[in-house]
Structure 1
Amino acid sequence: MKTKQWVLNAIVGALYVVITLIIAPLGFGAIQIRLSEMLNHLVTFDKKYAYGIGIGVIIANVILSPFGVYDWLLGGGHTIVSFIVVIFLTRNMTSIKKKMIINTIVFSIFTFMIAFLLLIIGAEKVFWITYLSLIISQFVTMAIGIPLMLYLDSKINFRQQMK
């Protein structure tokens, strides 16, 4: 990657951490309102954004998560695995909106990793209820992010920025 791409990823990672910090108490637990998750949609414009977001998630979890190393691994793992699946599923797609819908669905489905995390540390007792609440939380957050990220792209042009 070029220096510009590394700098851009550092900015995106820092944005992820700051946005998570602003509403930190709401970003952890069985119901997560983590607005920074909207940044996951950047990958639908260019997969190189995955580096900044992935590092941002891990740093945010290291600094803020009450669940310690489990969240570093499973929270960060959730993002990395979801990105791999999204990039694979959308590799031949051209429609950003369709990519964002798939991105939203994949990130929501893979919240089972977070539900498992909350179960093994004892923060929650019933996997399926926790999983359902996480799916809904993730889906709503990322669905709201679709029009927002499309609007920002119309002003910033995320693809062009990563070139």
Structure 2
Amino acid sequence: MKKTLFIVQASVIAAVYASLTILFAPISYGQIQVRISEALTILPFFTPAAIPGLFVGCIIANIFGGNGMIDIVFGSLASLIAAYLSYRAPKKWMVPLPPVIINGIVIGFILNYLYKYPLLISMAWVSLGQLLACYVLGYPLLLTLERYEDIIFQKEG
């Protein structure tokens, strides 16, 4: 039962992440981006199933992004690392921080490599978009979901 629940949660998270990214494609890709789906990066706070869920969702979203294998591989690995670090965050307010930092650095490098955008400016723009998605959208989502955690994430007790 636990394995099935893990797979279902990961699959739903992947589907929602990919769908939101693709639905909001005009603002999900590029040097200046705010991926609405990045608000979901708070989900590792509630379930480890969010780690592979966000990773797979990002792979799917990046396939549609048009930046090729570099973004599919390295952009998605950045999300995997950020999700794991969010899961391990020692304080609740720190949960959204790893995606801001990791994606700002990695996606900034990807954009610099692919489009020759200035590296530090790319990192700054991506980080700013991540701050908006992860803290302005994601952190209030975390606080809201926390009220219903036992119901939504099938916690016992």
1:112 equivalent to 2:105? Answer: yes
CA contact (8 A) 1:16 1:39 kept: yes
TM-score (norm 1): 0.84
Map Cα deviations across residues 74-115 of structure 1 (whole Å, 9 max, x no partner).
Answer: 210111121233334x2xx4xxxx33x323222111121001
**Aligned positions, number:** 153
Aligned to 1:10: 11
Q: Could you tell me the percent identity over the aligned residues?
A: 26
CA contact (8 A) 1:4 1:162 kept: no
Of 134, 140, 147, which aligns to 2:132?
140
CA contact (8 A) 1:23 1:34 kept: yes
Q: Aligned partner of 1:127: which letter?
A: L
- Alpha-carbon distance in structure 2 between the residues aligned to 1:160 and 1:133: 33
Please report the RMSD computed on the Cα atoms of aligned residues, expressed in angstroms. 2.0
Could you say which structure has the greater relative contact order, defined with CA pairs below 8 angstroms and 6 or more residues apart? 1
Alignment of 1:43-58 (within 5 A): 43-58=44-59
TM-score (norm 2): 0.87
CA contact (8 A) 1:45 1:158 kept: no
Counterpart secondary structure, 1:32: coil
Question: Mind listing any 5+ residue stretches in structure 1 that lack a counterpart?
Answer: none
Counterpart secondary structure, 1:121: helix
CA contact (8 A) 1:42 1:158 kept: no
